[in-house]
Structure 1
Amino acid sequence: MSFKGDKKEEEDGSSNPYANLDKTIVLQESRYFNESSVHPRKCTHILTKILYLLNQGEKFTTQEATDAFFATTKLFQSKDVMLRRMVYLCIKELSCMAQDVIIVTSSLTKDMTGKEDLYRAAAIRALCSITDSTMLQAIERYMKQAIVDKNPAVSSAALVSALHLSSSAPDLVRRWANEAQEAISSDSAMVSYHALGVVAGSRRNDKLSTVKLVTRLARAPLKSPHALCLLIRLAAQLVEDDESDASQPYIEFIECCLRHKSEMVIYEAAHAIVNLRKTARDLAPAVSVLQLFCGSSKASLRLAGARTLARLTAKHPTAVAACAVDLENLISDSNRSVATLAVTTLLATGAESSVDRLMKQISGFVSEISDEFKIVVVRAIRRLCTKFPRKHQALAAFLAAMLRDEGGLEYKAAIADAIIALVEENPDAKEMGLAHLCEFIEDCEHTALAVRILHLLGREGPKSRHPSRYIRFIYNRVILESGPVRAAAVSAVAQFGAQRPELLPNIRVLLSRCQMDDDDEVRDRAIYFSAILDTGDEQLINDYIVNVPKPNPVLLEKALRDHLATRPEEPFDIMAVPSEEEPKEHKEAVVEIEVRKPVQVSIEELYSEQLSKLPGIERLGPIFKTTAPVDLTEAETEYRVRLLKHVFARHVILQFECVNTLNDQLLEHVHVRLETPPEYEIRAIIPAPKLEYDKPGSVFLILDYPSAFVDSLGVFGATLEFTVHDCDPNTGAPDSSEGYADSYPLEEFGMGCGDQIRARAVTEDWEPLWERAANAPEASDTFGLSQNNINDAAAAVCEHLGLPKSAISGDAVKEIRAQGIFRGGAPVLVRARLVAGGSGEAVTMKLAARSPREDVAQLLLAAI
């Protein structure tokens, strides 16, 4: 009977064999991998448990991940196909947490180049996830071969790995573009798609190359629908960047894709046309396609069509009006998301007489949809409030009912925004809107929203017919809410006292009670407003309570910067700062299908385009790191120069970013004369042709590092040299004179250990890691530091050696533990113990470093 019960649970889909896994037990089970003879099926089951825990967000310590990783590597001896593929997956997932993962590189490289296709694709993915960017050159030849491999799985794995590596080693991946170009013509849809992604990514900073790529592929459309979708996006981007007639061929190509046999391509083309800011007539082909999607038997296509049409109504409601019949049919759709989008689109495009009927249909299923689609409904109703002001009672009542429902901050904020807009735009709706908001803040859980509503009540409440009714709701917030809400309530109450004299005696009583509040901000506001109200000076009350000038924070910052740069000795006039920015041409929002997250760009990526233009840069290999910029001049000087160091394995590029702050001078032939330590050799100097007023330019110097690592430490002297031409301050045009040579001394700068190492803190499982490196060469010494405070000393050591501050631990005795990679790829472990001396005595530090390269360990000691 128990067996039957288990079988029944399995059939119902309610049983999860991995639901109650314990990490400790699973890790103990993984020790089974170390036995001399293992059963493949049992090993596969254990690996599945590990992967399940990792994908459920279970946190593994560094030691746990390392032990599991090395236990898994013992299974490379197995010939079982399924087990080996699970091994690759586990290696890939554990590599980001475990230490010394580089040890399996040779095994993965062997499988990557072997004859067993089932292993090769997985081995490529695992290898590229564990290989450091400095070690990628060793497998570059194999990656190029894999990209053009006849097996689609192998080729696709190599291309996807290249896409992932493009963020850490863009220069290296760029060299694989020729092989990827060849793979675009593959018969496999995914290989073609991934290859186009690699080629387009390698050309993203070169517009001319991108134009050539899109033009060539548009003439002979791709077989892969996925690749064609990506090509449509590239073509649409070119149209966005160039609105001249030269972009017409790309528009024609996108419109041609509307007749493709793949629904995916058709929708991508329609979506691109909708986003290209065209007139209603230009949108007609795309709208026709979306109209057909609305009548499709597939729910996904109906949703896509309805959602895009709903977004389009904000820009071109007349273009969507032609789809009214099809959208009416979707109101009763079984998919509530589709029905919601259909109704909101009809609300935006329909007549005033149809509003009541559509609102009834919305109320029937609004509680069944997600917050995302509820926000779509709210925004549609907000537009209706502006479009049909006579319907404000029904619309406000509907919004108030939604406000009482369950929902998150974004959903509630959207409703509050709609009611606030209604109050501000329609005088007839003010009393009712404020009443709904007063009821809402009685149970509002969101501080930011409550503060905003209180601000509105303070501004609009005193102007209403019965202002006293709102004071009770506001004062309740002083009694019941958190500090920020209480402070906002005090400001709102003061507005009533300032604008309604009949309420002033009661307001004084309320403010006097607030002067005993626990929160400093609440007490200060209450005392401040009481003092102003007690003066009875109408002008003072108006200037400091009712009509307080509120300058735009962005414009205020700009005005302060300009003041400091031009006339810092004069007093600053805050009243001269405008409260609003000058109106600018508004760029229409793109009709997005999903929210795009902002891309985080590293400093290496930020400067990659500038470096790629330097002659001979490709011979230096991949970049190791770019240091943070350092100012070599004072902030207020006539020329501002800051230095960035782009570090490679055997070379360093010094980039001097220069700005000319004199509007009556034009600088030409700008270069830097460098005084280097004797072991450095300057390979090339790339000057800046000219420096116009307030337009940055850069001077580059390429240097060879000394062959001995210890010799790389040193101090450099630098002088900015240029030819000066006097010019018109207004036009910037230089005079006819030949100009004269001049120079400007820059501050000295050093090349330290921190510039040449990438390090991270190691706080957990340090001792086993340190012991595993016991056979590596070690350098150690004891130092007396100049600092007397142990905290300052530890921070200074970390900054000097390029170690993160998080590597510091301990209280009375500070310990620094870190591991890193030195330029060229040599790993290094650093351990330092700092002990405070007696009163007034210096801090003592014992520093030890272990690395396979003894000269790297010696360098760390020499840097102190």
Structure 2
Amino acid sequence: MSSFKRDKKEEEDSGGNPYQNLDKTIVLQEARYFNETPVNPRKCIYILSKILYLLNQGEKFTTKEATDVFFATTKLFQSKNVMLRRMVYLCIKELSTMAQDIIIVTSSLTKDMTGKEDLYRPAAIRALCSITDSTMLQAIERYMKQAIVDKNPAVSSAALVSALHLSSSAPDLVRRWVNEAQEAMNSDDPMVCYHALGLVAGLKKNDKLSTVKLITRYFGTSVKSPYMLCLLIRFAAQMEAMNSDDPMVCYHALGLVAGLKKNDKLSTVKLITRYFGTSVKSPYMLCLLIRFAAQMVETDDSDTSKRFIDFIEYCLRHKSEMVIYEAAHAIVNLKKPVRDLAPAVSVLQLFCGSSKASLRLAGARTLACLTAKRPTAVAACTVDLENLISDPNRSVATLAVTTLLATGAESSIDRLMKQISSFVSEISDEFKIIVVKAIRRLCTKFPRKHQSIVAFLAGMLRDEGGLEFKAAIADAIIEIVEENPDAKETGLAHLCEFIEDCEHSALAVRILHLLGREGPKSRQPSRYIRFIYNRVILESGPVRAAAVSAVAQFGAQRPEMLPNIKVLLSRCELDDEDEVRDRAIFYNAVLDTGDQQLINDYIINVVKLNPIQLEKALREHIATKPDETFDIMSVPTEELNEDKEDIVEVEVKKPTQMSTEEMYNEMLSQIPGIERLGPIFKRAQVVELTEPETEYTVRLYKHTFARHIILQFECVNTLNDQQLEQVHVRLETPPEYNLLSIVPCQKLVFNKPDSVFVVVEFPSAYLDSLGTFGATLEFVVRDCDPNTGNPDPGEGYADSYPLEEFDINCADQIKTRTAAEDFEETWECAANSPEASDTFALPYNDIEEAGKAVCRHLALPNEAVSGDAIKEIKGCGIFRGGAPVLMKAKLVAINVGVTMKLAVRSPREDIAQLLLSAIG
């Protein structure tokens, strides 16, 4: 190392060029060393460097001198040194224009070009193409085609550049390589794409139509190569594509230019405003301008956005129907409020009366979308939409019906039902399901019309149709029954009649489950027993088993019917099906005890377990602890997800995706030893640990087990010029917690989320399980190319990033649900259990907000709050480990805030105290 430093210093001190005083004669004499055997590669490289320096400085070699050096250089092919071989290729290229009989090295170069050594092949291709004339090209044509599509980017790029040079001397021959060059344009390597595009465009430079096709081929696509994009821009500029007489060329040219300027807001504004008030020939280009203008309205809060809105409204008066529709569609879909929707709605209304089916579909579809946001704005189109009910295009007719159902008044419902009754029988099941969903929303909007709506749905149940269609109707009636108490008797009666002839077992099971849950609460529960017991006599095994469970519900909730129910269950004990017999025996045994708590837990309010987690827990139990008793209470319960509001339009079926549960299980499976933690108990809601616009964003997911919690830190690197490696989180834990292991993220690339997992053990005492954690993200930073994402050479440097503190509280450790109707009875049954109670002064002026805050701390849903002046909160749940919990609170608004009295009952007194401390 010291000698290296000394030589470097001497070089700096001299400040000269080591090749400055070279003499050509001396260098030519030194070249004779190439004939020695064996040769010293390092010495040969030095001599070749001198020759190349002289050639590049303009030194003139005679033909004899060049030929002698050329043939002396070819003797170096005997060396296997990589650097020397590449210097030989360079010398051959430079001497090929001066020496004679250079064709003699063709075989050696061809051998290297087709060999297995990738370091030789690119330089060999360049040298070979420089010495080969047009008469010899056909001999290497096959090899050149293979090299152009080679997997090695350096080989492919060398072949493409060489072909571009050869196209001037042998254009007809190189033109036969276009197919291979076009295939190379799809390469993942940016430089290969660039060179391939240059070759193809060079071969087609005299063909304007082919050049236009070549450029427009990549408009609207994601071109990975920035070099290729730069070349496309040059070609597009040369062709003045945005001023072309061809409408499609204008459209694609604008798309390319706008795509390249998408991150430059000022340039985008200039691009759009450039065409305001001008006569744009291309309607496609105008449509694209309208879309860009709509995007700018959404993102620009300044007065400039008014110009864009004026431009879109101006386009409503264009002669092209395409432009008019695009402008109307943009206006009605703006998230920002528009002063007047009437012009756009008027245009859509005219489209609904058009003779073209495409315009009618466009108008009806856009009005249907507008109905979800501004139903009053669509009211003026009622007559036109009613005319579309009989439209021969079923998509148009379905959209008209669903829009009318969403915008109709309560007084027009009966008339609408009569209008669509004949229409429904003529459409396919797919469209019928859309209509059923629209009718379902109509009943939510006008609950007093439930009788006519349910009767109409029941009539559709009796029509021909598949399982999906019948299930949609049954689901709609079931939802109406659950939401509207007045519709309960009517809905249950129609469902009872339907299961008499129902041919789908799965649907019959769902309806029987509903009858068992809602039937005992009706005014005349005995009327449903006959329909249910008929299923025991006439149906298949699964339906009979569901009927037994439904019958048991009546015996559990209606004591006056218990003797008759026991007789029916006794008959079912003789059934041929094991499942039916077992259920009947089990329910009879539970009802014989007379224990109301037992009946409630095992018949009325049975906990619904998550089936995915139940299967996983059973498999783990069999694999790890087959001799121990399985604790079913440790399995997470099934969580109901609220469905999003359906948009009134023809739906497109989405591909089946992995469920959230399966996705989490797959991610956690990479943690070593996770099977020893047992089944997962609960997953808490996400916690943001960074601000949204920071260079690194981190979100926390908590996965709770009986005695452990896994903290999943999902990290996103938003810097495209950095790659993070060995990413982990340093935790500052409360002293009672025990940090067991950390699973780091090995590599975090730009904009691709990945996770760090930390396994922490809960304290042995429940009361110590509330705590605040500090966290710091630590990693190694490596700079990388923003375009390719490839990291620069080197080891990088260590860095850290502070994260927000987070808490582990009661809500992370308990699964709760809203109390059932018999909560008071359950509360009294638990009178002997330990109880903890206290009175709290809550820092809220609004009693509604106070109730929601308490539910948030206790992990209860907001539906647990009831009452007006005095709010009551009732709920129950299971703490990690399986201990049941009952909670009851009363909130009263006073002058300076809200006062609450909270009582908690549980077999574990420390858990009850813990829930109180969560509030305090």
Q: Give the TM-score of the pair, scaled to structure 1.
A: 0.50
User: More deviation in 144-153 or 218-227?
Assistant: 144-153
**Alignment partner, residue 595 of structure 1:** 652
Aligned residue for 2:744, secondary structure, equals strand
Query: Offset at 1:318?
Result: 1.5
User: Does residue 325 of structure 2 align to residue 267 of structure 1?
Assistant: yes
3-state SS of paired residue (1:259): coil
- Contact kept, 8 Å, 1:664 with 1:726, in 2: the verdict is no
Number of aligned positions between the proteins:
547
In the alignment, the residues of structure 1 paired with residue 270 and residue 542 of structure 2 have an alpha-carbon distance, to the nearest angstrom, of: 56
The corresponding residue for 2:721 is 614
Select which of 408, 420, 441 maps to 2:499. 441
Deviation at 1:553, TM superposition (A): 10
Shift of 1:340: 4.8
Does the Cα contact within 8 Å between 1:144 and 1:176 map onto a contact in 2?
Answer: no
Q: How far 1:235 moved relative to its partner?
A: 4.3
Partner AA of 1:672 in structure 2: V
Shift of 1:642: 0.6
Counterpart Cα distance in 2 of 1:610 and 1:727: 17
Structure-2 residue corresponding to 1:672: 780
Matches within 5 A, 1:338-377: 338-377=396-435
CA shift at 1:262, angstroms? 1.8
Once the two structures are overlaid, the 10-residue window that deviates more, 450-459 or 261-270, is 450-459
Contact 2:536 2:547 (8 Å CA) reproduced: yes
CA distance 1:174–1:381, shift in 2 (3 Å): same
C-alpha distance in 1 between matches for 2:740 and 2:279: 57
SS in structure 1 at match of 2:721: coil
Instruction: Please say if 1:431 is aligned against 2:486.
Output: no
Q: Equivalent residue for 1:305?
A: 363
- Distance, in Å, in 1 between the alignment partners of 2:555 and 2:362 is 54
**1:190-229 CA-partner distances (Å, limit 9, x unpaired):** 233344555566677x475895587456646854333433
Question: Which of 791, 800, 803 is matched with 1:702 structurally?
Answer: 791
The answer to whether 1:155 aligns with 2:258 is: no
Distance 1:385 1:654 in 2: 44
Could you tell me which of 196, 201, 205 is aligned with 1:139?
Answer: 196
Give the % identical residues: 57
Aligned amino acid, residue 642 of structure 1: C
Match of 1:457 in 2: 515
Q: 1:430 to 1:177 in 2, by over 3 A?
A: farther
Q: Contact 1:229/1:264 (CA < 8 Å) preserved in 2? A: yes
1:641 aligned residue (744, 757, 765): 744
Structure 1 residue 375 displacement after superposition: 3.3
CA displacement at 1:549 relative to structure 2: 5.8
* Structure 1 residue matching 2:327: 3-state secondary structure: helix
Deviation at 1:500, TM superposition (A): 2.0
Q: What are the residue-to-residue correspondences of 1:502-541 with 2, within 5 Å?
A: 502-511=560-569, 526=584, 528-541=586-599
Indicate whether 1:413 and 2:471 are aligned.
yes
Matches of 1:480 and 1:210 in 2, distance apart? 74
CA RMSD of aligned residues (A): 5.8
Are the aligned partners of 2:779 and 2:800 in contact in 1 as well (CA < 8 Å)? no
DSSP-derived class of the 2:747 partner: strand
Distance 1:333-1:503 versus aligned 2 partners, 3 A rule: same
CA offset digits 1:747-768 (Å, max 9, x no partner): xxxxxxxxxxxxxxxxxxxxxx
Superposed displacement of residue 391, structure 1: 3.6
> What is the CA distance between 1:663 and its match in structure 2?
7.1
Distance 2:393 2:800 in 1: 71
Displacement after TM superposition at 1:186 (Å):
3.6
**Alignment-mate amino acid for residue 780 of structure 2:** V
Q: Do the aligned partners of residues 460 and 672 (structure 1) sit closer, same or farther apart at CA in structure 2, a change above 3 Å counting?
A: same
Task: Read off the aligned partner of 1:319 and give its amino acid letter.
Answer: A
CA separation of 1:521/1:630 partners in 2, compared to 1, >3 Å: closer, same or farther?
farther
Work out whether residues 219 and 253 of structure 2, in 8 Å CA contact, stay in contact via their aligned partners in 1: no
Q: Is the 8 A contact 1:189 1:225 kept in 2?
A: yes
Aligned to 2:432, the other structure's residue is in SS state helix
2:244 pairs with 1:191: no
Q: Which amino acid aligns with 2:747?
A: L
Residues 287 and 319 of structure 1 are in contact (CA less than 8 Å); yes or no, is this contact kept in structure 2? yes
Mapped partners of 2:776, 2:522: distance in 1: 64
Q: Residue by residue, what CA displacement relative to the aligned partner does 1:144-192 show, whole Å, maximum 9, x if unpaired?
A: 66999974565346534565665xx476765566358644444322233
Q: Secondary structure at the match of 1:672?
A: strand
Which string of whole-angstrom CA distances, capped at 9 and with x for unpartnered residues, describes residues 715-762 of structure 1?
xxx9994469899879xxxxxxxxxxxxxxxxxxxxxxxxxxxxxxxx
String of CA shifts for 1:319-377, please: whole Å, max 9, x gaps. Answer: 11122333344455555554554454444434444333332222233222233433343
SS of residue paired to 1:644: strand
Contact 2:454–2:491 (8 Å) recurs in 1? yes
Distance 1:666 1:203, change over 3 A: farther
Deviation at 1:296, TM superposition (A): 2.1
Residue pairs, 1:490-569, within 5 angstroms:
490-511=548-569, 526=584, 528-548=586-606
Q: Tell me the alpha carbon deviations over residues 30-76 of structure 1, each in whole angstroms, 9 at most, x when there is no partner.
A: xxxxxxxxxxxxxxxxxxxxxxxxxxxxxxxxxxxxxxxxxxxxxxx
Residue aligned with 2:780, SS: strand
User: 1:327/1:201 Cα in 2 relative to 1: closer, same or farther (>3 Å)?
Assistant: same
- 8 Å CA contact 1:313–1:320 kept in 2: the answer is yes
Instruction: Give structure 2 stretches of 5+ with no counterpart.
Output: 1-148, 150-155, 615-630, 659-666, 668-696, 698-713, 732-738, 760-770, 808-920
* Residue deviations 1:622-669 (CA, integer Å, cap 9, x gap): xxxx9xx9998999668763123879xxxxx9999779999775759x
**Displacement of 1:130:** 9.9
Equivalent residues of 2:499, 2:508 under 8 A apart: yes
Shift of 1:401: 1.8
Measured in 1, the distance between the counterparts of 2:235 and 2:545 equals 61
Contact 2:353-2:384 at 8 Å conserved across structures: yes
Letter in 2 for 1:613: N
Q: Which one-letter code corresponds to 1:298 in the other structure?
A: K
Distance in 1, matches of 2:236 and 2:531, equals 68
Equivalent residue, structure 1, for 2:233: 178
Judge conservation of contact 2:727–2:780 (CA < 8 Å) in 1: no
SS in structure 2 at match of 1:373: helix
- Give the 3-state SS of the residue equivalent to 1:296 in structure 2: coil
**Shift in CA distance, 172/313, structure 1 to aligned 2, threshold 3 Å:** same
Distance 1:507 1:298, change over 3 A: same
C-alpha spacing 1:457/1:588, structure 2 compared with 1 (3 Å): closer
> Within 2, Cα distance between the matches of 1:438 and 1:468?
13
Q: What secondary structure, in the 3-state scheme, does the structure 2 residue paired with 1:141 have?
A: helix
Select the structure of larger CA radius of gyration. Answer: 2
Q: Aligned equivalents of 1:210 and 1:551: distance in 2? A: 57
Q: Is the 8 A contact 2:365 2:649 kept in 1?
A: no
CA distance in structure 2 between the aligned counterparts of 1:231 and 1:703, rounded to whole angstroms: 40
Task: Report whether the alignment pairs 1:254 with 2:312.
Answer: yes
> What is the alpha-carbon distance in structure 1 between the residues aligned to residue 281 and residue 180 of structure 2?
26
SS at match of 1:417: helix
Residue deviations 1:575-627 (CA, integer Å, cap 9, x gap): 9999789x9xx9987676763857999x9xx99x9698217x9xxxxxxxx9x
- Compute the displacement of 1:519 (Å): 7.7
Alignment of 1:675-754 (within 5 A): 685=783, 702=791, 721-722=798-799
For the 8 Å contact 2:536–2:544, the answer to whether it is kept is: yes
Contact 2:517 2:550 (8 Å CA) reproduced: yes
Q: Deviations over 1:230-255 (max 9, x none)?
A: 44445445555677877555444433
